[in-house]
């Protein structure tokens, strides 16, 4: 990761810019820490989708954005409060991802690997939950549908 050329794709940049505008509307400046966290979260969308606080912290330091761990925590809390990011627990770790599109999550309960699931993929589960009075709130706290299982890598190394 260190020294690696690090560039956002066009769609990642669009996500970050939209989030920065929401921060500005909430009266929050586009600081290096906020921008760095948003860059990492946008970059993660195409892969695992979510990152833990320490993963984000390490990634920022590797890119030369020198911030305290406590700052990363504070930035993430603000993003979650504004509905820009949301959280999913993986074991005892809280992971953070951008909440700019409606998605759900499939998690490997063994290694914590994660993939985002499109809303259509779990529409029936969401409708069933709503029918029994549980609404899946997409912003803020643990929400939506989380499918736990084991990833290909863990299944093969386990044999
Ligand atoms: Zn997510
Ligand atoms: Zn796994």
Average pLDDT over residues 136-145: 59
CA of 117 to the centre of ligand 2 (A): 16
Is residue 144 over pLDDT 80?
Answer: no
Is residue 14 over pLDDT 70?
Answer: yes
Residue 38 lies in a domain: yes
Is residue 141 over pLDDT 50?
Answer: no
Is residue 151 over pLDDT 90?
Answer: yes
Structurally, the chain folds into a number of domains equal to 1
Residue 33 lies in a domain: yes
Residue pLDDT, tens place only, 35-74: 999 999 999 988 888 999 999 999 999 999 999 999 999 9
Tell me the percentage of the chain whose pLDDT exceeds 70.
91
Which ligand is closest to the CA of 104, given by its number? 1
Is residue 156 over pLDDT 80?
Answer: yes
Residue ranges of the binding site for Zn(2+): 108, 111, 151, 154
Average pLDDT over residues 121-136: 86
Residue 1 lies in a domain: no
Range of the structural domain that residue 21 is part of: 10-157
* pLDDT band per the 50, 70, 90 thresholds, residue 157: confident
CA of 94 to the centre of ligand 2 (A): 17
Q: Quick one: which of 59, 66, 24, 64 has its CA closest to 44?
A: 59
CA of 96 to the centre of ligand 2 (A): 18
Q: Tokens 């549908």 appear where?
A: 145
Average pLDDT over residues 98-118: 87
* CATH at residue 75: 1.10.10.10
Residue 141 lies in a domain: yes
Q: Where are the alpha helices (DSSP H) in the chain?
A: 10-25, 32-44, 53-62, 69-81, 123-131, 152-157
pLDDT score recorded for residue 3? 46
Residue 106 lies in a domain: yes
Is residue 112 over pLDDT 60?
Answer: yes
User: What are the phi and psi torsion angles at 52 (to 5°)?
Assistant: -80, 165
Q: Look over the chain and give the mean of its residue pLDDT values, rounded to a whole number.
A: 88
What DSSP character marks residue 142?
S
């Amino acid at each position: 990761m260190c020294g690696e050329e690090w560039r956002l794709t066009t769609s990642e940049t669009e996500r970050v810019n939209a989030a920065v505008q929401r921060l500005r509307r909430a009266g929050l400046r586009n600081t290096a820490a906020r921008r760095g966290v948003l860059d990492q979260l946008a970059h993660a969308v195409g892969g695992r989708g979510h990152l833990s606080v320490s993963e984000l912290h390490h990634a920022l330091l590797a890119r030369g954005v020198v911030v305290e761990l406590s700052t990363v925590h504070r930035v993430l809390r603000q993003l979650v409060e504004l509905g820009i990011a949301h959280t999913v627990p993986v074991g005892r770790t809280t992971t953070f991802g951008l909440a700019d599109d409606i998605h759900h999550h499939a998690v490997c309960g063994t290694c914590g690997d994660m993939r985002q699931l499109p809303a259509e993929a779990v529409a029936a589960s969401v409708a069933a939950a709503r029918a029994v009075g549980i609404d899946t709130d997409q912003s803020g706290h643990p929400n939506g549908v989380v499918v736990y299982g084991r990833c290909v890598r863990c299944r093969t190394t386990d044999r």
